[in-house]
Structure 1
Amino acid sequence: MEDYLILGACNPALAQRVAVARALAAEPRVLLLDEPFAALDVTAAPTLRRLLRDLLRERSRTAIIVTHDMLDALAIADTAVVIEGGHVAERGPVRSVLSTPRSDFGARIAGVNLVSGVVSARGSLRTEWGADIAGAGDVEPGVAAVALFRPSSVAVHLEPPHGSPRNVLTVTLADIDVHGPVVRVRGAELPDGAPGLAADVTPAAAVDLGLEPGRTVYFAIKAQEVGLHPAHGMH
């Protein structure tokens, strides 16, 4: 008596394994996968990522994976291509793209803040709306560049701070959300249309500061926490 596997009766993790195995069984030169782990829970997805990575390497196969999940790229891919507005915004080694993104979408995936502008003097970026951001980076004056900094590097104040931070930006809060063990607050869209800047604070700080959408606050970032990089899309 033969045994049959009815995919409709499988749990999502098993169904995905079968789908990957079936695709690889045809020995394709290139495998195209669209959001292959999107339907899986947090316990099943890592197992499937390892399985796919090992199979691709063992069989020397090339795969194109469409995903919005940074973990998919880190676990499986060698090269990342960021598509924004229907065009290639940046391309390069995965770790380079995720550590120093050059596009708004790449920055959102990597979980960092990105501000675009032109280097006005060494170590200083001038934005389109006239703000100056100090940072570290060997970018020549006159070159289009991006300033990158992590939400965890941002201190939130109710009044303009005094002291060591060289970068202070006025932000109107648009969104507040729980992000793991911290509360992530995000400002309104930047004047150039880029996504608003984000800061991570503790739940206690969010309560003490009375943070809520619509409130105007001040984001302070030390210059050494900001990286300045050329704005070109190839790493």
Structure 2
Amino acid sequence: MIKFCQKFKTYFSSSFIPYNPKGFKDVSKYIQNHQSIQIKLCDFDVSKDQFIYAYNNFLNSIQDDDFNLYVQEVCDKQLADQFIEGLSRIQNQSLKLEKVLNDEVQEEIFFTEFNFFISVNRNISLYDHTVLQSLDEFPKFIQLNSQAKELLNCVQIGAFIKSKLSLKISDFEHEPENFHHVRFMVLKDAEELKSLFSTLKSILFYNEKEVYFGNNPTWKIIDLDRNMGKQYPLFF
């Protein structure tokens, strides 16, 4: 009975928002592609610190008055809606959400995946697309189907991040020194899509950085602690 209650407590605490307060302790079996992804990101002039910074910014904002607007800017629409709904449930049930800062934690990041998404409609959730084709290799290429005037070729990057910041829900189980899995997607600036010459040039010479990142990309969080992956396994 005690064991059942503990399991229920863990599930209950992590089901409010798409964030698992316990995180992940042993990530070694998931990071076999870490080095090759890190080399690829260096080719794109992308620093690993950018991911930790973006993740920390997101956690820092969760108690801000304008969080509902902010989360829709920096997260996939469906993920954002889950956070907004979850925070409302926490408040309605008189529970407390706390940000925990532990300066003794050594921040780390280990990359898990590097995927390409083709024909992404930036105006809808990634999870509202349908899959036309998926090549299960590394990196994975996923061809999507959506009706839109401007379709993007996007890079998706997953990583386990250990941060000084963590979230705690009332007195439920909480492991501040564990990793959390975050999936990011990069979106090219909308203005760059209007430059036909630039687009043709990057495709002709196949400059991957220009094709997928452009000059002023926007980063979005599309999944946290593998919450969305459980519901949409075709994408991951």
Task: Give the TM-score band, short-chain normalised.
Answer: under 0.3
Pick the structure with more strand per residue: 1
Normalising by structure 2, we get a TM-score of 0.23
Normalising by structure 1, we get a TM-score of 0.23
Pick the structure with more helix per residue: 2
Greater relative CO (CA pairs within 8 A, separation 6+): 2
